[in-house]
Amino acid sequence: MSTDPDLPTLDEIEDLVDYGTMSRGRAYFHSGHVVKVRTDPSGIHGEVLGSGASAYLVVVPHDRSRGSLGSCSCPIGDSCKHTVAVALAAIAQTVRRRPRDGRWRQRLEPVLGEARGRTLAPPITAALQFDIPAVPTGRYLPAMAPSQRAPGAQDVVLRVVSRGARGDWVRNVVSWSDLATDGPTRLQPPGAADELRALLNWARAHDRYHSYSDGKTISLRDKDRGLWQMLDAVADVGVPLVYGKRGVVELHRDPLEVEVDLTRGQRGLSLHARLIGDERAGAAQLLGRSPYGAWLLDEADSRLHLWRLGGQPDPLTETLLVEGSILVPPGDVGEFTDQFLPDLSRTRVLGSSDASVQIPERASVSVAMIVEYGEGHAAALRPAYTYDFGDGDVRVLDDSADGDKVSWRDVDAEVAAKAQVDLADPRLREVVTEFRSGIRSPRLRPATFSGSQLLWLVDELLPALQELGVAVIERGERADYREPATEPVVIVDITDTPERDWFDLAVRIEVDGVEIPFAQVFSALLVGAELVRDDGLIIDLSRPEFDQLRHLIRQAQLIGDASSGTVRISPEHLGLYDELVHLGIVGEQSRTWRERVAGLTDLTALPAIELPDGIEADLRPYQLDGFRWLSTLSDLGIGGILADDMGLGKTLQVLAAIVHARSRGMTDPVLVVAPTSVVANWQAEAARFAPGLQVAMVTASGKRRGSSLADTVAGADVVVTSYNLFRLEFSAYADLPWSWLVLDEAQTVKNHHGKTYQCARKLPAASKFALSGTPMENSLMELWALTSIVAPGLFTDPERFNEDYRTPIERSRDAARAAVLRSRIAPIMLRRTKELVASELPPKQEQVLRVELHPKHRKAYDVRLQRVRGQVLGLLKDLDHNRISVLAALTALRQLALSPVLDADPAPGVEAIPNAKIDLLVERLRELHGEGHRALVFSQFTRYLGAVRERLEAEGIAYEYLDGATRNRPAVISRFKDGDAPVFLISLKAGGVGLNLTEADYCFVLDPWWNPAAEAQAIDRTHRIGQQHPVMVYRMIAADTIEEKVRELQERKRELFAAVIGDGADIGRTLSADDLRALVE
């Protein structure tokens, strides 16, 4: 019985495997095949000896919710007899350890008793007595071989006895009941009490029929193979095993085997079970109703022999043991010999004691590989075994779990056959596993080959398999696979179409002097890297020019007539087309195309558009470039992403472009959608820099306004509203004509499954622009969301974008794919950093302050860390379903790193624990205030900000406070800007956007955030145009906590942003399972 919640119970094991596997697993456990077993947080790990010299490696995970007991390096691989044996060994190990827990008092008592002046009772020499109770009248059954009675008819019982004064064994001094109540304390030999108590606990756990009810004896009738391990342990500490008062028990360690004995006579062919392995076994009686051992009493010298069975009897063998023989009538002997005997000989030990039946030899087993050639020039390989039974009877068995149900399967023979194959040969690397579920045993595995892989398959792999002794079984027709004699030639022409913004790419392809229909190449480009013709000719499509065509077709999905070899593109695809030009395979190039796309990727080539009248501002050079870039995109009828750093005047650049567009005849209004906190800023900026524009503010729903949207915005040049109102009244917005859609702080629509994103995507507008200093915060799919709004023809399919870019860049750190993505988005994204274009900004310095937790705080954190670590590591096994639970657990740990008071279930008295981070913050704020500086203090946890606020009040330090619940937001901001409070406490959500707080020159970030862009946004509240003083940023990190791990994660995310948006050459990953695991390890 298992009482450890992570260990399987016997009932659970029986539910997870079939009867035969359970029986064989019990046999392996009880016969000592398990040579190693250990348990760690991931599961139970063990080694089990097979029939040969090699050991199989087994892992039984703690999480068995998927219906599997565990994995194994044997051919079965899953929920096999070896996993059962290891699970039983772990249970037994736990049972044997438990009696020793908490026995320190009894162990010390003999040592300290005399020192304390007490006289100790003399030690008791204990023994384990075996007895054979008399069988009641009428209980005898007919004799049968090998036992004289049916199993369990004659019971054997165990007692605890002690040596009497005359040297014999007596029963009245110690009993099982005494051991059950932790006494007596001085049994000899040493360890006797522990091992006898372990035996008692084990017997109780297996006592299904209350055979221990009298407290004096333990019946062995209804036990199982676990008895032998318990008896071995008792004997190993020196406890005598005795029979009766003066007899002895001989516990044989070598097991008996059960042989099915076949004899033939006049009545037919008889099958019965026979015990072999000891010359006395023929007279032995079986032990247990479900036999697991045998016993024989030699009355001449009062000696009781006990044997264990070497294997758990299968249903047939057990039937023979319990019920006697099976008789095959003479007329059926031929059928039995032809159809049943061969299968029996491969799965059981057979013999013929009188040599009247010839036992067939076992089949010759070899490793094989089945190769099936199917449609579409694909070859599927799967491992198998061949069984040669002689006389042309060769059977093929797939190497799969289902094969375990085949009656003639011989797993041990398969293992031996596999051992003859050199699986380490490098030529087999594509069809040999390396590691599987923690198992380090290589094995052949299924594989699929297509395209150029077929050449390697037929020329190298199959001959190598045959050379190494693996039988190759080919099914289906194999084509004459070969490569062309000459390299393919590809020529691309670009021509005008009747549509203003679209152009045709015409593709011509020649191989070995023959032009191949583009329709064939087109289909192959979409699905693979090769084109395989019907005759077996394989054309490599991995050349650079084919690669560019593939991405053009897959990403744009703007397909013309594929059979004619044309693909339609627009200026959005300039980045891809430029790569084709650099490859030198472009033939005719439309003059219109060249004129239309000039300047999109080279700002120096932008048209020299003059700043229009009506803009009352002097634009900096980079702002003029941005204005001209926006105007060029508008003229082309496409949109873009203005991704300048915060504080560089994106609003002014857009206003200038709007005024320019209206001066060129644009009549429909521009719709600006922004966070609620930024809406008023658009009105103020327009009044300041473009007073001639009529701006309509939509700050309430139609019901609260009391007017329709059309009436509210009538006559406006620019309409400004919030994301929430835009979503709520989308149908009304969609019914109105719009020239542009401008999305400010566009990261708001980064979730392409969200409703706000869908509204922005569906709204009809000639051009759409996204403004965001952080167009990507966590994942490349956020960047896809923005591009799908402003340039919907660039990456049309999110699944293909995920396959082509997100997966290789985020998971595989593919710098080449990151470079390709940068080139694709370059025409529709413009980003400038403050360091590059705003040299007049004062310097910004950053410093990390490591704060040591107070000892009591540290203790509370470490206790929770251990709990969260185990919880998170378990949940990470299925991250897709458990992501929310994982993040919740980590967030709780981050809060505890700030303060024990933030714990969901705080311990009593934690309010009194000093907070080292707040102490240091207050100390720094006092110094800064004395020097005339002002500071912004950021945290994403408002409860912690509340604790800081209470401390500032207690210290008499003036402050302003802003979080998501603050109603009079403008008034609070104005008080700080116009007042003299030295500190502004701001939560992440409330202060991430829409604030200009250049009055402060110090920033304190109290807790690191998952997203480094969010921290940058907060800091940019003060380090922006208009700041006159150097800015100092302090990031306060609790030492040796999850906060340091989050900082490491931030650095990886910064690399990802730099690789795709900026000029970085390296890349990182999003919150993968490895990232989350690193946070708690």
| Residue 481 included in any domain | no
Residue 629's domain comprises 603-837
pLDDT in tens, 393-413: 788 888 654 555 666 777 777
The yes-or-no verdict on residue 243 having pLDDT over 90 is yes
Rounded-to-integer distance, Cα 102 and Cα 104, Å: 6
Q: Sign of dihedral through CA atoms 795, 797, 803, 807? A: positive
pLDDT value of residue 1068: 31
Q: What is the CATH number of the domain that holds 970?
A: 3.40.50.300
| Residue 480 included in any domain | no
Rounded-to-integer distance, Cα 654 and Cα 657, Å: 5
| Residue 107 included in any domain | no
Residues 770 and 860 in one domain: no
pLDDT value of residue 95: 59
Residues 767 and 671 in one domain: yes
Residues 803 and 904 in one domain: no
Percent residues over pLDDT 70 in the chain: 79
Residue 583, judged by CB atoms within 10 A of its CB (0-12, 13-18, 19+), counts as middle
Distance from the Cα of residue 53 to its chain's centroid: 35
pLDDT value of residue 936: 92
The yes-or-no verdict on residue 287 having pLDDT over 50 is yes
| Residue 285 included in any domain | yes
Domain limit, last residue, from 251, 281, 297: 251
CB 1005 within 8 A of CB 1033: yes
Residues with Cβ within 8 Å of residue 95, at least 6 apart in sequence: 1, 198, 201, 202, 205
Q: How confident is the model at residue 796 (pLDDT cuts 50, 70, 90)?
A: confident
Strand partners, 537: 482
Q: How confident is the model at residue 146 (pLDDT cuts 50, 70, 90)?
A: very low
From edge to edge, which strands make up the β-sheet containing 670-674? Answer: 695-698, 718-722, 670-674, 740-744, 767-771, 640-642, 829-830
Residues 886 and 946 in one domain: yes
pLDDT in tens, 651-683: 999 999 999 999 999 999 999 999 988 898 899
Residues 950 and 889 in one domain: yes
> Is 916 in a helix, a strand, or coil?
helix
CB 756 within 8 A of CB 786: no
Angle in degrees, CA 621, 627, 633, rounded to 5? 135
Least confident window among 52-61, 227-236, 338-347, 558-567: 558-567
| Residue 57 included in any domain | yes
Rounded-to-integer distance, Cα 444 and Cα 446, Å: 7
Strand partners, 32: none
Radius of gyration of the chain (CA): 41
Rounded-to-integer distance, Cα 257 and Cα 284, Å: 13
Residue type, 147: S
The yes-or-no verdict on residue 132 having pLDDT over 80 is yes
Q: Which two tokens stand for residue 338?
A: 């032809």
Determine the straight-line distance between the first and last CA of the chain, rounded to whole angstroms: 33
* Mean of pLDDT over the chain: 80
pLDDT winner (highest mean) among 570-584, 746-760, 863-877: 746-760
**Half-sphere exposure of 311 toward its Cβ, with a 13 Å CA cutoff?**
19
Q: What is the mean pLDDT of residues 791-796?
A: 80
pLDDT value of residue 114: 47
| Residue 4 included in any domain | no
pLDDT value of residue 503: 57
The yes-or-no verdict on residue 522 having pLDDT over 60 is yes
Residues with Cβ within 8 Å of residue 77, at least 6 apart in sequence: 71, 401, 436, 443
pLDDT value of residue 121: 58
Better-predicted residue by pLDDT, 443 or 1070: 443
| Residue 355 included in any domain | no
pLDDT in tens, 296-330: 999 888 999 999 988 666 777 777 887 778 899 99
Strands (E), 935-1078: 935-939, 959-962, 983-987, 1002-1005, 1031-1038
Least confident window among 624-633, 804-813, 823-832, 1022-1031: 1022-1031
pLDDT value of residue 681: 87
CB 389 within 8 A of CB 326: no
From edge to edge, which strands make up the β-sheet containing 268-276? Answer: 326-328, 268-276, 257-265, 350-351
Q: How confident is the model at residue 515 (pLDDT cuts 50, 70, 90)?
A: confident
CB 1038 within 8 A of CB 851: yes
Residues 290 and 433 in one domain: no
pLDDT in tens, 896-907: 889 888 887 777
Q: How confident is the model at residue 635 (pLDDT cuts 50, 70, 90)?
A: confident
Q: What is the mean pLDDT of residues 225-252?
A: 92
Residues 607 and 537 in one domain: no
| Residue 300 included in any domain | yes
pLDDT value of residue 143: 34
Q: What is the CATH number of the domain that holds 744?
A: 3.40.50.10810
CB 1010 within 8 A of CB 1071: yes
Residues 621 and 671 in one domain: yes
pLDDT winner (highest mean) among 574-578, 625-629, 772-776: 625-629
Nearest to 505 by CA among 559, 578, 440, 551: 559
Distance from the Cα of residue 222 to its chain's centroid: 44
Q: How confident is the model at residue 141 (pLDDT cuts 50, 70, 90)?
A: very low
Residues 246 and 261 in one domain: no
Angle in degrees, CA 439, 445, 448, rounded to 5? 140
Residues 287 and 417 in one domain: no
pLDDT value of residue 436: 47
Rounded-to-integer distance, Cα 166 and Cα 935, Å: 93
Residue 316, judged by CB atoms within 10 A of its CB (0-12, 13-18, 19+), counts as middle
Into how many domains does the chain fold? 7
Q: Which two tokens stand for residue 493?
A: 């022409």
The yes-or-no verdict on residue 101 having pLDDT over 50 is no
The yes-or-no verdict on residue 206 having pLDDT over 90 is no
Residues with Cβ within 8 Å of residue 293, at least 6 apart in sequence: 225, 227, 228, 286, 287, 306, 307, 308, 309
CB 518 within 8 A of CB 507: yes
Q: Are β-strands 187-188 and 43-49 bridged in parallel, bridged antiparallel, or unpaired?
A: unpaired
Rounded-to-integer distance, Cα 178 and Cα 853, Å: 52
> Is 535 in a helix, a strand, or coil?
coil
Domain limit, last residue, from 219, 251, 283: 251
pLDDT value of residue 765: 94
Residues 72 and 127 in one domain: no
What DSSP designation does 917 have?
H
Residues 796 and 872 in one domain: no
Domain limit, last residue, from 225, 251, 277: 251
**Half-sphere exposure of 456 toward its Cβ, with a 13 Å CA cutoff?**
11
Rounded-to-integer distance, Cα 195 and Cα 198, Å: 5
Least confident window among 39-53, 129-143, 733-747, 819-833: 129-143
